[in-house]
Every structure is written in C-alpha cells, then in structure tokens.
Amino acid sequence: MKKSHYDAVIVGGGLAGLSAAAYLAHSGKKVAVIERGKLGGRAMTIKLKGFQFNFGAHAIYGRDQSYLTKIEQELGLKLYWSDFTQLKAKYDLGDEVSVVPTNIGGLLQTKLLRGMDKFRFAYHIMFTMLGFEKGDPDVSIKEWLDGKKVSPAVKEMMLNLASTNFFTGEPERIPSDVFFGYYRRLFKTNIPVSYIQGGWRSLIEEFIKIIESNGGEIITKTRANGVTTEKDKVTEVRTKKTIYTADDFVFAIPPEELKELFSETELEKELEDYTDYEPTYVMFYDVGLKKRIDSQYTYIFDKDRQIFITDISYYDMEAAPPGGQLLQAVAYLKKEEVNNPDAYTDIKDKIEEFYDKHFEGWRKQLIVPRVSKTAVVQAIKWTMKQRGLPTSFPQYSNAHFAGDWCQGAGQLSELSFSSAYNSCQRILKKETSKQVG
C-alpha cells in the first residue's frame, strides 16, 4: 500500500477542515485534506437556474469579533461582505410586526417590550456585556430566568432571541453559561450579522486557493477507514489505497464517524459520550423568484410557528439573477416530525402561508423552489446533557478535533472556525516550543 507523509493531515473537508488546512498551509506546513465526499460538507452552494442556493444560512454572527475574521485577516482571504440591517429584522406578532431588539437601537423601537420591561431587558444586556451575568453550567437558561424571577415579557424576549441565534426550537434547554457567553460576544459587536457575497462557495474557493498555492493536497472521494496509534500519538490514517502519516492530525468529522475511526483505540470509549446526541432538525424551503417583491423587512420570524424567512438576495448580490430574488424559509422540526410525511406536509403548507402573508405574489414569480425535508444545521443541540467535543484529548498529543460539534466560541459555523483556529494554534505553538528547545 502506498505511503505518504505530511506535516499535518486533515480528515474532513467541511468548513472546519478546510479552514484548518488553509491556516496550517499558510503557516508553512505541508498539509493533506482527506474528504470522502464534496468539499464544504454541509456548507455547500448549488446553482439552479441562475440562483445560488446555500445549504444552510451563510450568516456570520458578530463579524468584528468572529474567528472567521481572524482567519480572513491572517490569511489574506478575499471575501466581500454585506452587513445586516437591524431595523429590517422583524417579529411577526400576528396583526403587526415589530423590530427584533438585538441592540439598543432595536430595543428602543421594539413593540415586544413595553414600559419598564424595556429597562429590565436593557439591564440584563448591560450586565451581560460587563460579564456580571455569567450563568451556571449546571443550570439551564429557563431555570436561571425562573430563579431570578425575570418578568414574563423579558423572559420570552430572551428565549426568542436564543431560538434564532442558536438554531433551536427549544431555547429553554440551553445551559445558562453558554447562553450568556454567546450574548456577551453578540451584544458587544458592532456588526451583529453579515453575509458573504457568493455564499459558502466564495469562502470554500478561497480556502482551496490558499491550500493549493502553498503546496497542500486535497484528496476527495476518499474515505478514512482507520487510524493507527502508538503510545501517546496517532501515527497514521488509513484509506483504501494509501496510508497517510503525519506529525499532527486534525479530525474534522462528526463524533459518530470519529468513534468508528478510533475503534479499538484508547479514545473509543471516551468518544461514546459525544455520539449519543440530539441534532437540531430543520426544514428549508427556498424560493427563487424572477422579480423582486419589495418588503419592509429582510428577516421575519414567527415564534409561534417557529418559522423565519430571510431575503438572502438583499444581502448577497450574487444569490439571484438581475431583478430576481432568493428567499430562504427555515422551520424548526420536533423529533417526532422528522420522518413523519403528514407532519412534513403540514409544515410545508405553513411555510407557504407565511410566504403568502409577507411576500404576497411570490407564487406567480416562482422560478425554482428548493425544499429539503430535514437538515442537520448543527450537529449538537445545546442542552444541559450535551456539551461539545473537546478539541484535544490527553491520550493522543498530536490529535486535534474541529467542527461545529466541538467546544469553541459562538454558534453554528463560528464553532467550526473557532475550534479549527484553536487546534492550529496548538499545533503551531508546539512547533515553536520545539524550535526554542
């Protein structure tokens, strides 16, 4: 069997794997990426009839504090951004709409909170920003809010925000320390939400360019089927035709795949704690329209039906052909709805009704729909029983882990970038220590 040696081998070519590979390649490491399918993983862009549909929203939260921005600056990525317009984000209250209060400006204008509740909510924002509200890892956000006797309106407001930013229909189950850690970053940001022009495709192409221009290799349609370990190190990753050896390995594949890969090693049993998780299921219903339907908002959320619509083409100029419009609707699914055809049909009808209400006439302008029954937006749902996979284990000093199922900063794609960045820093710091020694 053929053998190939690298400074670092990255298993998994999603956002985490590609960002880690690009960072290490840019830092002078000889890298190889092994991906069993297509590059990008769940962060892909497909083109249909002139529209660019992203698998999942390509929104980046808190861009001025994001790990992707760190990577962008340090690697010199050529990305073009469009920033979220606060006053165009609305809640559907039934008979009227109201501004989503994700910053002080929105707080002053929202109809969701009135009178003293606005000051109470501002109080919690201020204390969160200053670090006084930290929560407790053993207390859910619902338990924390109940214990503090937070007013019903403020409590509802905080949980509504969590539904949107954590991509979950069960925000009350989020650990309170995770909740406040996330909002501490978000409330301090000057850029709450941003979109990459060209979607995930633009970012993935930039990563590939960095990897290949620095001598890295990308091997697709190749599955890693085993690892070999010796003492406290991983020595090789095996595929059907090649054995890959390296000084360091970054594993950017989901926990259930990791468990299989590390079977009969010291990590097998430990990984079991991270494979029994509940994913967050959602349904996407995107529509490409030949003519733009003007609206007073670019984001609308119905908390009762757990559905939101984003006007992707408002922020991403490449998402739709000239004059056209790309709208993305997302509905949260309960566990019992995932494989239930009747529930699927009912949710699909509700999404169409939501489109009818806020983008009247969309059916006549429809060119191409893209409906997905279910999609795992984030591999691990934040609950009291579920915590992210560590980015390293003491058993193997040269094995590093990255992905949105790992521990890190932020949510969604930010977890991929932060865990990949931290893994790379650990690898590079180890190299620096060797040189100094």
Q: What is the pLDDT of residue 239?
A: 95
HSE toward the beta carbon, residue 32, CA cutoff 13 A: 22
| Whether residue 257 sits in one domain with residue 291 | no
Radius of gyration of the chain (CA): 22
pLDDT score of 384: 46
83 in a domain, yes or no? no
Same domain, 68 and 143: no
- Tell me the pTM: 0.85
Residue 150: the pLDDT is 79
Contacts for 148 with CB less than 8 Å, ≥ 6 apart = none
* Predicted pLDDT at 212: 98
| Residue 140: DSSP 8-state | B
The single residue listed with the structure tokens 């204008």 is 109
Count the neighbouring beta carbons within 10 Å of the beta carbon of residue 221.
8
Residue 370 · residue 284 · CB < 8 Å: yes
**CATH number of the structural domain spanning residue 369:** 3.90.660.50
The segments of the chain whose pLDDT lies below 70 read: 56-57, 99, 101-119, 121-132, 164-167, 169, 185-188, 276-278, 373-387, 431-437
What residues make up the domain containing 219?
Answer: 2-73+198-277+384-436
For residues 14 and 162, membership in a common domain is answered with no
Contact present, 35 and 220 (Cβ < 8 Å): yes
Q: In whole angstroms, how far apart are CA 241 and each of 3, 235, 432?
A: 9, 17, 34
Q: Are residues 216 and 306 in the same domain?
A: no
Closest to 217 in 3D by CA, of 239, 201, 232 = 239
Do 112 and 230 fall into the same domain? no
Residue 389, token pair as written in the block: 């996979």
Instruction: Name the domain count of the chain.
Output: 3
What single-letter amino acid sits at 145?
L
**Same-domain pairing of 272 and 296:** no
Residues 157 and 177 in one domain: yes
**Which CATH number belongs to the domain containing residue 416 in this structure?**
3.50.50.60
- Structure-token match 């259930």, residue found: 256
Query: Which CATH number goes with the domain that contains 129?
Result: 1.10.405
Is residue 204 a part of any domain in this protein?
Answer: yes
Helix (H) or strand (E) holding 202: helix 199-213
Does 296 lie in the same domain as 255? Answer: no
The reply to whether 88 falls in a domain is no
Task: Give tens-digit pLDDT for 127-177.
Answer: 666 666 777 878 888 888 888 787 787 787 778 777 766 667 678 888 888
Task: Identify the DSSP state of 388.
Answer: P
Q: How far apart are CA 140 and CA 144, in angstroms?
A: 6
Distance CA 21, CA 15 (A): 10
* Cβ neighbourhood burial of 152 (10 Å; 0-12, 13-18, 19+): exposed
Final residue belonging to a domain, choices 378, 400, 421: 378
Tell me whether residue 91 is in a domain.
no
Same-domain check for residues 184 and 125: yes
In terms of Cβ atoms closer than 10 Å to its own Cβ (0-12, 13-18, 19+), residue 83 is middle
